[in-house]
A and B are shown apart, each in its own frame.
Chain A
C-alpha cells in the first residue's frame, strides 16, 4: 500500500511541479529562508579549521538528522566554489561517540596546492560557514571482536584513526602502524599519547619514513612481526595497499582477513591511449579505439546518445566519476574528480571512468 501512495505522490509532484518531490519544488523559497539549505544534502557548520600536516582538520557541527556512521566510512564533502557546487570524498576521522553525543564530526582534508578543490579550500573556508555532506557510506568498517592490525600511510590514517578512537574498551590486542614522512607530516600529533595511555593492549607504531626509511611489506613482516592471525586493515595510496595485501596473502593471511581502502593521485600521461570505462545502466564497457570518448565508444560498438558532435547540444553529456580529460575545443584539462563532460569533445589523458547521467522518471 505505501508503494502505491509513493507512486501517486511522485506522479502528483511531477504533474504539478515537474519535480521529484515537494521539497525540491519549494527549494527556491526554502533557500531564501535558510540560505544554506540544499535539497538532498546535509548541511554542516564549520566550528574550527586547523591546518596540520598538510591537511585541514575541519570540525563540523551537523544537525540531529545526520545519520549515524560506522568508523571507517567516508562521505562526500560539497563546497560551493565560485558558484559551482564541487564535491570530493573524504574519510571521517572523528569517533562515532562524538557524533551521537555532540553532533560533531571531523574531516582531515589533504591539501593539494594544485588541486581545483582542495587547493581552493584554505582561501575559501571560514569558521561559521556552511558546507554540505552526503550520507556516510562505505564498507571499510572495523570489527572489534578479533585481534586486528591497522596499517595506514599518509592521509590514509584518517579512517583508521576513527576506528581506533571509536573503540570504547579494547579487549583484543591491536597493532596500529602509521607511516608518515617527517615530523611535520604527522597527523593527530597531539592525540597519540592519550590513545596509548587509554588502551594498554594497543601496540602503536609511528613510523617516520623520513628517518626510518620507507615502510615496505618486507620490513613490516621482518621488523614489526605483526600477528598473522589478526584481521588486517590497510589504507593508503593505491600502490601501498596493493603491495601490502599481496605480501600478506603470500605469507598465508586469508583473503577475507584483509580489508583495504585506497586513494590515488592521477598523473596525466598524454600521448598513449588511456583506458576508459563507460557505464550505461547496469553494463560497464571498456572502451577501445582512439580519439574523443564519443568516437571511442562508437569504435567499440557502444551506442550512446549524441547530437552535434561539436560540444553544443549537450546530448552526450555524461558524469565522469574519476580521471582527467582534455577538452578538445579548448585544450583545457579537467580535474581528476567527478564532473560532467561532453563525450564528443573530451579525450582521456588518464584512466577515466564515465557513466550516463541518471535521468529522473
Chain B
C-alpha cells in the first residue's frame, strides 16, 4: 500500500477541486424533490412488507422448521433495508428537506441496538469529519484492529483476523458500545481533554434503554406473541440479526479498509481547506460496483466516495453521480478506488492479515 501520495495537489488545485465538487453538488441539489419523496415512500413500504411477511411467516414453523429459512431471509432483508438504506441515510439528514414527520434525522429510530443519537455523534460527526485520520477517526479499525503501520504493533494484533470475525458477528453491539468505549464509560482511564456533549449518565441511559427495547422485542415480546412457535421465532430473530450483522460489517469494512484506502496524520489536516477535506474523503474511501439491488442492500455505501463527498444528498442518487466524480478525481490525479465487491472485500481481508504482523 502506498502510504503517502506521491504528488499531492497544491492549494490552488485543491481550491479548483472544491469549486468543481461544490458545483456538482449544487446542480444535484437543485433537482431534489418529488422523486426523492416517492423513492423513500416506496422503500419504506417494501421494507415494512418484508418485515411483516417475515414475522407472520415465522408462524408457519408450526408446520415445519423449514419455513424458518425463507422467513429469516425476509426478516434479515427488512433489517438490512431499515439499517442501511433507510436508517443510515435518513439519520444523515438526506431526506430532511422533505419535512416528513418521522423520517428525519431528529426523530428516526432504527432496528438496531445502537441509539440513533449516539450513532449520529460518532458517525456523522467524528467519522465523517476526521475520516481516516489516525487517532481522530475511531471508526478506523474500531480501536480493535491495526490496519496501518502508524499504529504500534501489539501481541493481540496477531489474532486480529479472529477479532474481526468476532466483531462482525456482534457488529450491532460494537456500534452501540462505540461511543461509550470512546468516553471510557465503564472501563479504562478517562482521556484528558476529550470533549463530550453528553454526560456518561446520559450515554448509559440511552444505551441501556435502546438495548433493553431491542432485546425485549426480538427475544421476548415477539416470541411470546407467537407462543406455540416461540422457540422458532426466537431462533429466527437471532438468525436475522446475525445475517444483518455480517452483511453490514462486510459492507462497511469495504468502505474504508480496502488495501488502497489511505490514512492521514492529524498534522496534515490542521486547518484544512474544503478542497483538502474533499481530497481526503476521496482517498480515504473506496467504492465497489454491482447491480442496483446490491447498491440498495448496502444503503449505497457501495458508493462510499460519493457518500463521503456529499453525505447529505439522498443516497439513491450516488450511482448516477459516480461517473462525474470519477472524471473530476482523474483530472486532479487523485486515485478513485473502485472494483468488484469480491475483489474489494478480498483486499480488506488481506489488509487485516498484513497488519496482524509487525
Q: CB within 8 Å of B: which residues of A? A: 12, 14-16, 18-19, 24, 27-29, 31-32, 38-40, 80, 82-86, 305-308, 310-315, 317, 330, 339-340, 357, 359-360
Q: Verify A83–B34 contact, CB threshold 8 A.
A: yes
Write the chain A residue with the least CB distance to B277: A310
Given contacts A83-B35, A83-B36, A84-B97, list 20 more A-B pairs with CB under 8 A: A16-B217, A18-B111, A28-B44, A28-B48, A29-B45, A32-B45, A40-B101, A82-B33, A83-B38, A86-B99, A305-B197, A307-B121, A312-B128, A312-B129, A313-B125, A314-B124, A315-B125, A340-B104, A359-B106, A360-B107
B residues in contact with A312, CB < 8 Å: 124, 128-129, 311-312
Check B37 for interface membership: any CB of A closer than 8 A: yes
Q: Verify A315–B41 contact, CB threshold 8 A.
A: no
CB-contact partner of A84 in B98, B111, B213, under 8 A: B98
- Interface size, B (range): 35 or more
- Alpha-carbon separation in the docked complex, A39 to B44 (Å): 15
A residues in contact with B98, CB < 8 Å: 83-85
A314-B124, A317-B105 are known contacts. Are A85 and B45 too (CB-CB below 8 A)? no
Q: Verify B105–A314 contact, CB threshold 8 A.
A: yes
B residues in contact with A86, CB < 8 Å: 99
A selection of 12 A-B contacts at a CB cut-off of 8 Å is: A15-B213, A15-B216, A18-B213, A83-B38, A305-B197, A307-B120, A307-B124, A307-B129, A314-B93, A314-B124, A339-B99, A340-B99
Q: Verify A28–B99 contact, CB threshold 8 A.
A: no
State the majority secondary structure of interface residues on A: loop
- Alpha-carbon separation in the docked complex, A306 to B196 (Å): 11
Write the chain B residue with the least CB distance to A31: B41
- Name, among B37, B106, B124, the residue most crowded by chain A CB atoms within 10 Å (CB to CB): B106
Q: Verify A29–B48 contact, CB threshold 8 A.
A: yes
B residues in contact with A19, CB < 8 Å: 102
CB-contact partner of A83 in B37, B44, B96, under 8 A: B37
B residues in contact with A340, CB < 8 Å: 96, 99, 104
A residues in contact with B96, CB < 8 Å: 314, 317, 340
Check B69 for interface membership: any CB of A closer than 8 A: no
Write the chain B residue with the least CB distance to A329: B22
CB-contact partner of B124 in A31, A80, A315, under 8 A: A315
Expressed in whole angstroms, the minimum distance between the Cβ of A116 and any Cβ of chain B is 12
Q: Verify B100–A85 contact, CB threshold 8 A.
A: yes
A residues in contact with B197, CB < 8 Å: 305-306
CB-contact partner of B221 in A15, A83, A359, under 8 A: A15
A residues in contact with B107, CB < 8 Å: 357, 359-360
Expressed in whole angstroms, the minimum distance between the Cβ of A94 and any Cβ of chain B is 27
Check B110 for interface membership: any CB of A closer than 8 A: yes
Q: Verify B110–A307 contact, CB threshold 8 A.
A: no
Q: Verify B106–A357 contact, CB threshold 8 A.
A: yes
- Alpha-carbon separation in the docked complex, A80 to B101 (Å): 13
Check B270 for interface membership: any CB of A closer than 8 A: no
B residues in contact with A305, CB < 8 Å: 197
Expressed in whole angstroms, the minimum distance between the Cβ of A161 and any Cβ of chain B is 31
A residues in contact with B91, CB < 8 Å: 314
B residues in contact with A84, CB < 8 Å: 33, 37, 97-99
Check B179 for interface membership: any CB of A closer than 8 A: no
- Alpha-carbon separation in the docked complex, A340 to B99 (Å): 8
CB-contact partner of B125 in A308, A317, A359, under 8 A: A308
A residues in contact with B199, CB < 8 Å: none
B residues in contact with A31, CB < 8 Å: 41, 45
- Alpha-carbon separation in the docked complex, A80 to B34 (Å): 9
